[in-house]
Structure 1
Amino acid sequence: MLAVVQQTLGITAPVFSMLFVGVALKRLGWIDTAFINTASELVFKGTMPTLLFLGIVQADLRTALQPGLIGYFLAATVVCFLVGWGWAILRCPVTDRGIYTQGAFRGNNGIIGLALATSMYGAYGLSVGGILGGVVILSYNTLSAIVLAIYSPNAKTDPWSIAKSIITNPLIIGVLAAIPVAYFQLQLPAWLITSGEYFAQMTLPLALICIGGTLSLTSLRESSRMAISASLMKVFWLPLLATFGAWLCGFRNAELAILFLYFASPTAAASFVMARAVNGNHELAAAIIVITTLAAVVTTNLGLFVLQWAGWI
């Protein structure tokens, strides 16, 4: 058992330690809000689309593109969304239900989930994670826009606005651009691949540092029962439900582990941005991000330990 614990810590510790590096750098004054905003935009618009593009281009698409895995992930995401929404109706004031629901189901898969999948399974984890990343972007943005629109009257809820935000998303563009290149096995110049790898290698450390720099202990101290409840849904109940469902459907080994890592990821920082954009309770959104990020250090390791101890991954 000790070997399993050491292995899971070896996978998760480097990722989560970068979050705490971001916290320290912000406190020391080495990075500020302007840097975090600029770096986050660079990651979103440039380095992460490049990382996803290269991960798919260099992968065996016939191996990474698994309809059953993608179909289950999408179905489980919708179920988790509905469970979180239903619980929000029971637990929250009307004005906070959209924020609660988004915080309970929207994971930071593009950064935390992808980093852990890559750390654990290398190129295969990056390839499968990149494919799932496209599904994540489509499903999370659409479902979040819907639930925030219902409870936040300032949100743009018309079909064109939602469709435009999806079509112009750089991460989706990176994934879609890579699929034909990988499928037809087009050969890109070696210098272009190398330059792209240099650029893409900035993604995970820079993004993790930025997330760490945005964490606020003040929002944690001021969090309410709603924040704790949503956080428990995000890092415990919904990952348990989704991973158990995946096991019942026959997923094992790398596929089951990657599904777990994606469902167990802490709440995405984008939920805070969307909450502010619709004039929602962004303090609640920030508190959920802080709590889930800290709690995921424990729950992710515990989940991997259980899955490895049971011999399922």
Structure 2
Amino acid sequence: MDTFIFAINAVLPIILLIILGYILKKTGFISESFLDVGNKLVFRVALPALLFYNIYSVSGLEDINWSVMLYAVIGILILLLIGILFAKIFIKKQTQKGVLIQTTLRANFAIIGIPLAESIGGSMAVANVALISLVAIPMMSGLSVIVLALAVHDKSLGNPFKMAFLKVIKNPLIIGVGVGLLALWIRTFIPIDSVTNELAFSFSRDLKFLYTPIKWLGQITSPLALIVLGATFKFEVINGLKKEIMLGTLLRSFLVPLVTLGLAIFLSRKTTLFAFDNNVYPALISLFASPTAITNAVMAKEMKSDENLAVQLVVWTTIASIITIFAVVVIFRTLGLI
């Protein structure tokens, strides 16, 4: 019973905020213009601030778990191969192949992953999420651009590798993580005060007027992002896309966590390189059990792929992930991994 209560406490707050966003939009309390501004505020300001704060909160570079970052890279490459395989076998339209692959490999890591990891594992788990984001976000974003461009064979889109590179370096989330790591690196050169046995200079202590608003911005991220996510939902199934929607949902919400999280447990028990602890698994769950990214639809439209399919997969993988995340949390809790 304690395990189920733990899972409910981890998952239900996220669900309730998404439902709240949906209700506020349906009742007219939230407008389309608010959604546009809310999305920009979350992705360009609040999330980068949160990621910086979480990275800066790590004691030092020596405390960074590099193995979890390595496994994130391996896991995403596995998802890319799975997506390509299923798209090649089951999808006929070129405009839909890239969408299915993107759905498989790209998670709603920032919006759902961060609050999920915090609910399961606390601040240390969120710090691991921030570290994973350094490799996961550029990989997922860059690979999505490449597969969408290559799938449609449209030369007017330009060089897909150049587009992927530009998207990565301009990504505000990557900038937030990068600045956080830079701050950690600079901290290694700051001497220790012989009297207080503390750093001679600390951003959080000596520049508190800057540190505090960054912390506050980070605190609004999860509730605002989840409300905006719920407000964007439109529940409908397009008859001509039923097979593709079902396939994408099954891949992202069930096969992806089964393969990647199952492999993580196996490697953790069989190798010393991937000896994950209870602070790491919540971060991996947030990456591999989260639904597909909400920005997939926008990217699909930009890359002349099937926008309708991408929109529906965001909705239906989010719904299905509720079941998946709950089941995963129960299983990991039962095994003593979280």
Return the TM-score normalized by structure 1.
Answer: 0.95
Match of 1:175 in 2: 177
Match of 2:235 in 1: 217
Q: Residue 164 of structure 2: SS of its match in structure 1?
A: helix
Of 211-220 and 302-311, the range deviating more from structure 2: 211-220
Q: Mind listing any 5+ residue stretches in structure 2 that lack a counterpart?
A: 188-200, 269-275
Match of 1:292 in 2: 317
Instruction: State the distance in 1 between where 2:299 and 2:211 align.
Output: 34
Instruction: State the distance in 2 between where 1:198 and 1:220 align.
Output: 41
Match of 1:277 in 2: 302
Q: Residue 293 of structure 2: SS of its match in structure 1?
A: coil
Match of 1:266 in 2: 291
Q: Does the 8 Å contact 2:44/2:173 carry over to 1?
A: yes
1:243 aligns with 2:245: no
Match of 1:118 in 2: 118
Change (3 A) 1:180 1:97: same
Higher helix proportion, which one? 1
Match of 1:130 in 2: 130
RMSD after superposition: 1.7
Q: Does the 8 Å contact 1:223/1:287 carry over to 2?
A: no
Instruction: State the distance in 2 between where 1:252 and 1:57 align.
Output: 21
Identical-residue share of aligned pairs (%): 27
Match of 2:36 in 1: 37
Match of 2:217 in 1: 199
Q: Does the 8 Å contact 1:108/1:266 carry over to 2?
A: yes
Q: Does the 8 Å contact 2:142/2:167 carry over to 1?
A: no
Match of 1:304 in 2: 329
Structure 1 residue 282, shift from structure 2 partner: 1.1
Match of 2:192 in 1: none
Q: Residue 123 of structure 2: SS of its match in structure 1?
A: helix
Structure 1 residue 17, shift from structure 2 partner: 1.2
Instruction: State the distance in 2 between where 1:68 and 1:191 align.
Output: 35
Change (3 A) 1:64 1:77: farther
Structure 1 residue 238, shift from structure 2 partner: 1.1
Match of 1:102 in 2: 102
Return the TM-score normalized by structure 2.
Answer: 0.88
Structure 1 residue 252, shift from structure 2 partner: 4.2
Q: Does the 8 Å contact 2:104/2:248 carry over to 1?
A: yes
Q: Mind listing any 5+ residue stretches in structure 1 that lack a counterpart?
A: none
Aligned residues: 312
Instruction: State the distance in 1 between where 2:84 and 2:49 align.
Output: 34
Of 20-29 and 223-232, the range deviating more from structure 2: 223-232
